[in-house]
């Protein structure tokens, strides 16, 4: 089951971590800022109360009066947001001009000389922060109790905090974007070794290299080493399989040769029926053995190296010219030196050799071998001017035992089909423009695996 993108996982985890961290940081910073603002306001109220207490005195008539007004001009401006009120013995009161015709109604409980901070909703609905304290005034050996109240509009706290919160959210948002970009860059850089690993596997798949190469981080090194070890075991197993196939070929060659000799002896002794039976079975066994050995020799690996076509074509045609009828026909090879296919060299030689050998047997005077790029693929065609195949036999040419006459087994083209099946490329047979037989093999470019198509299409 696919587990999704590793990059998206890392980015999602980073996004969650960044969001959580910034939310917590934002909440803490706002709380700290609000505490600092409140502390400043509280100190300001205490300072005003101290000024009022220092200036408060009882005049000759026994009335409370202020020796001097507080310095803050807001006390003189009606409804400015900063107020004071003094009550002596719960009776006589003094007010700041800013309080106008209102009064601050607090709980009757004594706040004490230390004072206290509280919140109050005034008669006009305004929220204020209040500091009130009780002090003793001495007059002619007697004392009077005075309650000093200083209040400030709560917006002195809420407005700066709200403004700070807005800017904090904008700043944290910008920081979140920057951190997200940094997390994306970090994830991409962190995953670069995996991209290098992917590229290495692609080079193995195309046959450019046989092992994963290059430096990898220590976290990935064990995976690379294990994969290279698997490739090593695979190559050894393939070599051993081919060696066993070769041993089997040599082991079966002698018994089949002896049986052929026995068939000849029977023929010379006049037992033609028995000789024919033995000879027929020997031929059948040789056909089966050759085909199975050809299959066993196929490169079973998924990562064959790149093989240049032109040298293989020239080599195989040079060898076939030395066989019977090979020197009697005109061989033409048309192949660009840059064309290469991802097929094991042994297997491409087997394929080209069988196709060209079939043309050698049947060509009247001419064989044309061409390799070219066509629609993103590499196409190899072998044409001859021989009799070709019978109409309707296009699908039978690779069937076991098929031959257009009695002198052949049809095994070569069957082996060609087996090689095509093993590598997953397309091969088809039909009529040649020269009038004879055409074999056409279509290899995917760069060795990409191709879906095998109907390989019995008649060539016009």
In this structure, the answer to whether residues 56 and 152 fall within a common structural domain is yes
> Which ranges of 206-220 does DSSP label H, i.e. alpha helix?
none
Tokens of 80: 């400015």
| End position of a domain, from candidates 127, 142, 159 | 159
In this structure, the answer to whether residues 219 and 323 fall within a common structural domain is no
pLDDT at 17: 93
Please report whether residue 183 resides in a domain: no
Q: What are 414-437's pLDDT values in tens digits? A: 888 888 888 888 888 888 999 999
In this structure, the answer to whether residues 52 and 129 fall within a common structural domain is yes
The C-alpha atoms of residue 64 and residue 164 are separated, in whole angstroms, by: 42
pLDDT at 448: 40
The C-alpha atoms of residue 300 and residue 236 are separated, in whole angstroms, by: 12
In this structure, the answer to whether residues 139 and 225 fall within a common structural domain is no
DSSP 8-state secondary structure symbol assigned to residue 302: S
In this structure, the answer to whether residues 135 and 214 fall within a common structural domain is no
What whole-number percentage of the chain has pLDDT above 70? 84
Please report whether residue 93 resides in a domain: yes
DSSP code string of 35-75: HHHHHHHHHHHHHHHHHHHHHEEE-TTS-EEESS--S-GGG
The secondary structure of the chain in percent helix, strand, coil, rounded to multiples of 5, reads: 50, 20, 30
Please report whether residue 344 resides in a domain: yes
DSSP 8-state secondary structure symbol assigned to residue 120: E
Q: Assign residue 38 a region (left: φ > 0; alpha: ψ between -120 and 50; beta: otherwise).
A: alpha
Which string of b and e fits 209-244 if b means at least 16 CB within 10 Å? eeebeeebeeeeeeebeebeeebeeeeeeeeeebee
pLDDT at 457: 29
In this structure, the answer to whether residues 334 and 431 fall within a common structural domain is yes
Q: How many domains does the chain have?
A: 3
Domain that holds residue 133: 7-159
Please report whether residue 174 resides in a domain: no
Q: What is the mean pLDDT of residues 65-81?
A: 85
- What CATH number has the domain bearing residue 125? 3.30.450
| pTM higher than 0.85 | no
Is residue 364's pLDDT more than 90?
A: yes
Q: What are 302-329's pLDDT values in tens digits? A: 556 788 999 999 999 999 999 888 899 9
Please name the residues in contact with 22: beta carbons below 8 A apart, sequence gap of 6 or more: 172, 175, 176, 179
Tokens of 36: 């600092």
Q: Would you place residue 380 in the very low, low, confident or very high pLDDT band (cuts 50, 70, 90)?
A: very high
């Amino acid at each position: 089951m696919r587990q999704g993108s590793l990059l998206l996982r890392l980015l999602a985890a980073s996004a969650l971590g960044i969001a959580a961290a910034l939310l917590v940081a934002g909440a803490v910073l706002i709380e700290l800022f609000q505490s600092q603002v409140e502390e400043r306001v509280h100190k300001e109220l205490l300072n005003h109360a101290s000024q009022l207490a220092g200036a408060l005195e009882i005049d000759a008539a026994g009335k409370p009066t202020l020796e001097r007004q507080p310095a803050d001009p807001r006390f003189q401006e009606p409804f400015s947001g900063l107020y004071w009120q003094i009550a002596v013995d719960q009776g006589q009161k003094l007010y700041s001009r800013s309080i106008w015709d209102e009064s601050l109604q607090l709980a009757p409980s004594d706040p004490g000389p230390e004072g206290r901070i509280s919140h109050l909703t005034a008669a006009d609905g305004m929220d204020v922060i209040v500091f009130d304290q009780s002090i003793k005034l001495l007059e002619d050996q007697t004392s009077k109790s005075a309650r000093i109240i200083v209040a400030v509009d709560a917006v002195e706290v809420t407005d700066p905090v709200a403004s700070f919160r807005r800017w904090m959210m904008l700043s944290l948002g910008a920081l979140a974007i920057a951190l997200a970009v940094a997390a994306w860059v970090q994830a991409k850089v962190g995953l670069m070794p995996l991209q290098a690993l992917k590229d290495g596997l692609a080079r193995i798949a195309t046959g450019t290299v046989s092992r994963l190469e290059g430096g990898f981080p220590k976290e990935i090194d064990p995976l690379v080493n294990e994969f290279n070890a698997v490739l090593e075991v695979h190559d050894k197993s393939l070599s051993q399989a081919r060696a066993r196939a070769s041993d089997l070929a040599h082991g079966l060659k002698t018994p089949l040769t002896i049986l052929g000799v026995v068939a000849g002896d029977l023929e010379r002794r006049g037992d033609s029926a028995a000789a024919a039976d033995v000879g027929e079975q020997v031929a059948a066994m040789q056909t089966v053995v050759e085909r199975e050995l050809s299959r066993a020799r196929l490169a079973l690996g998924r990562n064959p190296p790149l093989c240049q076509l032109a040298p293989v074509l020239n080599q195989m045609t040079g060898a076939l010219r030395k066989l019977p009828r090979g020197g009697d026909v005109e061989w033409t090879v048309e192949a660009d030196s840059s064309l290469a296919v991802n097929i094991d060299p042994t297997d491409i030689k087997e394929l080209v050799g069988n196709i060209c050998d079939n043309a050698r047997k049947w060509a009247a005077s001419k064989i044309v071998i061409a390799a070219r790029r066509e629609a993103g693929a590499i196409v190899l065609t072998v044409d001859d001017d021989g009799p070709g195949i019978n109409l309707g036999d296009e699908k039978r040419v690779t069937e076991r035992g098929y031959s257009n006459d009695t002198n052949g087994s049809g095994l070569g083209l069957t082996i060609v089909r087996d090689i095509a099946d093993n590598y997953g490329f397309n091969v088809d047979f039909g009529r040649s423009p020269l009038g004879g037989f055409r074999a056409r093999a279509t290899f995917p470019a760069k060795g990409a695996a191709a879906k095998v198509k109907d390989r019995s299409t008649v060539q016009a």
